[in-house]
Amino acid sequence: MKALYCQQNSPGEEITFVFQERENLPPTRDNDVKVQVRACALSWIDTKLLSEIKLEKELLPVGREISGVVLEVGRKVTFFQPDDEVVGILPLDSEESGLCEVILVHEHYLVRKPEKVCWVEAAGTVRDGVRAYTALHYLSQVSPGKTVLVMDGASPFGTIAIQLAQHRGAKVISTAYSLEDKQYLERLRPPVEGIRQPLVARVIDVSNGKIDVAESCLEETGGLGVDIVLDAGVKLYSAEDESTSKSQLLPHKHDIITLLGVGGHWITTEKNLQLDPPDSHTLFLKGATVSFLNDEIWNLSNLQQGKYLSILEDIMEKLSSSIFRPQLDEPIPLYEAKVSMEIVQKNQARKRQVIQF
């Protein structure tokens, strides 16, 4: 059997992806589940995080969000039996590549896949679902009547976050990075027949760089500001210090602090966020919080295992009832996985890439 791995010869060097012939699987351990993989979603690999938590290896397995059929179970496995359809995310320290026909997974990383959910949707939604739940339920408490700003709402994560926030009764505002994204967001509707009201109350098109996000949000909320902000990165410095065109479209950290309401929550994906004393003072005056979104936390502590599995089950239930409708690209055959992973690693994919077996 072949499996896809990521190779980085030296720090700072561009990583490459290689198919390796792997030996036969070891015997199934007591708590292991042998899974025949039917679909595997591709996600960006954070090599810096892996080196920081001492998980760097010469060959890193690629592909962690999988769906498939149980072939065999260890003697202490209680959750599953052969022929069950399952979905899950392989842990950070997994030796297994999800881009392999048959893998071994500990039962505590899997949940059952509903029959009406297809393999590709299950694998393609599970990671963005976990991120959305982490942001909106655990780092903030989304509830009816709250206003949520989702930056880059047309991204795979943004789409699921919008759908979860709206389902919980929140009013959603979103930013769009292109005309195509704006049109996509304006077409989003709830799954209930007969309801024509859009999921997003206001789409702010920032593609031309002329629209002030803070001003638009304050206008939409009657000057009160938004309760929850999910960013997609922020501009840390002045415009001349930012190099890429994408970073030109990001809001400045001061804009986000300005548009936050009293008691608001700012959920950031910017791991190098720096707040100056005046920024902290403004947040203090508003009684606002800043939280960092790292969805890997669930598997870094066994204490969270029960909550984590209930999140996975809830994601599948919402996928089954069409509350979640993911932003997926066409399924990709395994032989194109290497090229697709290179695109994902360069952050050039606008839709979630899923390999179908």
Give the single-character DSSP code of 103. Answer: E
Structural domain includes residue 234: yes
Give, in order, the Cα–Cα distances in Å from 101 to each of 25, 63, 80, 298.
Answer: 11, 12, 19, 26
104-151 pLDDT, tens per residue? 999 999 999 999 999 999 999 999 999 999 999 999 999 999 999 999
User: Which residues share a beta bridge with 70?
Assistant: 35
Give the single-character DSSP code of 130. Answer: H
Structural domain includes residue 71: yes
Going by pLDDT thresholds of 50, 70 and 90, the confidence category of residue 193 is low
What is the pLDDT, as a whole number, of residue 60?
87
The answer to whether residues 175 and 270 belong to one domain is yes
Please state, for a pLDDT cut of 70, what percent of the chain lies above it: 94
Structural domain includes residue 302: no
- 322 Cβ contact partners less than 8 Å away, ≥ 6 residues apart: 191
What is the pLDDT, as a whole number, of residue 327?
92
Comparing 41 with 250, which gets the higher pLDDT?
Answer: 41
Residue 171 has pLDDT above 70, yes or no: yes
The answer to whether residues 12 and 113 belong to one domain is yes
Q: Which two tokens stand for residue 122?
A: 């299950």
- Report the domain count for the chain: 2
3-class DSSP state of 260:
strand
What is the pLDDT, as a whole number, of residue 296?
86
What is the pLDDT, as a whole number, of residue 231?
95
Q: Specify the CATH number for the domain of residue 273.
A: 3.90.180.10
What is the pLDDT, as a whole number, of residue 341?
93
The answer to whether residues 208 and 320 belong to one domain is no
Structural domain includes residue 130: no
What is the pLDDT, as a whole number, of residue 298?
86
Structural domain includes residue 135: no
Structural domain includes residue 300: no
76-87 pLDDT, tens per residue? 999 999 999 999
The answer to whether residues 204 and 320 belong to one domain is no
Structural domain includes residue 307: no
The answer to whether residues 18 and 53 belong to one domain is yes
**Residues 260-295 as b or e (16 or more Cβ within 10 Å = b):** bbeebbbbbbbeebeeeeebeebbeebebebeebeb
Range of the domain at 340: 2-124+312-356
Structural domain includes residue 161: yes
The answer to whether residues 253 and 281 belong to one domain is yes
Domain boundary among 292, 322, 348: 292
